[in-house]
Chain A
């Protein structure tokens, strides 16, 4: 078995052409470093499982940033900490591919803590190799989240303390608490026996992705002799004697037997159905009716305001949609955000036969006030000669202005008579249509079916509209 490990896998390039410098045959890894061994185990498994060609290797920031020098697989190099997120983008794009997310301890457990947690929690169909050597390697020996208490580093020159840095983090144990991960094991690049165990774990994890799209997490304790300021042998001994004590080896979770293959495929899509899916449908309104009616030379600017729940915003959208069906230019703009949730709502609508510049309404030609505060707030903004429509069943006072048309409608009371308070906004639309004369009653009634999202309400709204129209006639 060991012979096979020592032989160079076909998942590696023969010559490392991407590597800078003249030596294209050896890796950039220091003697005694675990990356080389782990790379070999992965490469060997990919060939044995006939998966190298369809593999995508995500390399992190850190010493293994150059994994693409060596692996003859698709290679995407990720930003610091983000390998699992990048892996998600790749795996979702190519569900049939084998995606390997490879990270060190700073990358995975510090700056990338969130990405690994959520990739694991979603059970992404990727394999994660986490190299834990308890130190930042490439940046020059700073403390890692996995650095042991008392361990000296460039940023813990007197040793890591509980007081200042807290406990080293045990990622395998954390990942194993989640529901979705299928197989979580901590292994070690130490003596031959431990490497054999690591090999088994690497192969099992990759196989589980190939066969079941299972999320597997393999933590690999590894030496960084250069930054530990030890020789390779001492480094490996330190991993075995010291690091392993805090990070016990072994399987932390394994539900691989009962885990059923995860379907990561995308849904089928028939491009000829695109218009239906996007609800893009041609209006069936009789163009003749529109042409017959069409008004020229007008711009109406509406401010529509009331309590949340009175249908203020939809009053605006329905009015706009009706305008659009008359081939007018229309715009609708809400007051949005927390305001919307705070109980009052208002929106601005413009309907014009000309191109609309600003969609904002400062001085409406028509104010629709559905409650008292709205009348108080906006009455003075209405242009001279404009119109104020207000719900006289909810507003006690009359508008003060004497230079505008005033139309009181007991819309809420009338809606209650129809059986639902919610129809008040439609009653007001009916009144407006009659009063303003810019929309054809015929076209509006024909359009209701297209405009209303809830088709059950079309008949009721038709009644409400007509009630509003009748009310204006009766004045």
Chain B
């Protein structure tokens, strides 16, 4: 077992220079759980939401993380959305990370406007917990952090078998690839479904970025203001921003 893993890692490290790896994630939002956390709803309204919607089968959205030895890109896999009779528009989110230089470029839609953030990679303050589980064939360890803007509890499951300090949605900074992110105890779960290491010969293509350049802090301010105002207006803020 040990030698097997060792050999994987060695092969992995040797071939990093020329090839691209790909991790497919699926992102599931549980709207009934998100709604239950809204402070302006009464207990009766929350129970009603649970009773009516909690059992709904939520449709996962596929995302792709492509990475090589110095950069990574994370985006919605629009061509593999679960076939539906109707397709609504998804908010755009492309995260390009030049991790060898600790830089990121986030192309994100917030409140109907497209922004570009060119900044340093976000430094998360992770707590490492004593829990292990398997995600997509890899044994992962649990870590936890907090998103202070959206006030979300973030749980990450990372595997040191893939020794790249990255993950979905720009999460990073753990000793291994993040294979699962869980926001607020299941309100949103982004989980790896398929992992292909070094098997892709095509180099990463950086898509053209469109949008208004904005500083990270300004966008955070816009988001927290929107959340605050929506709560006052008794409106679910997450109908209009990325959860």
Q: Do A and B bind each other?
A: no
> Which residues of A does B touch, CB under 8 Å?
none
> Which residues of B does A touch, CB under 8 Å?
none
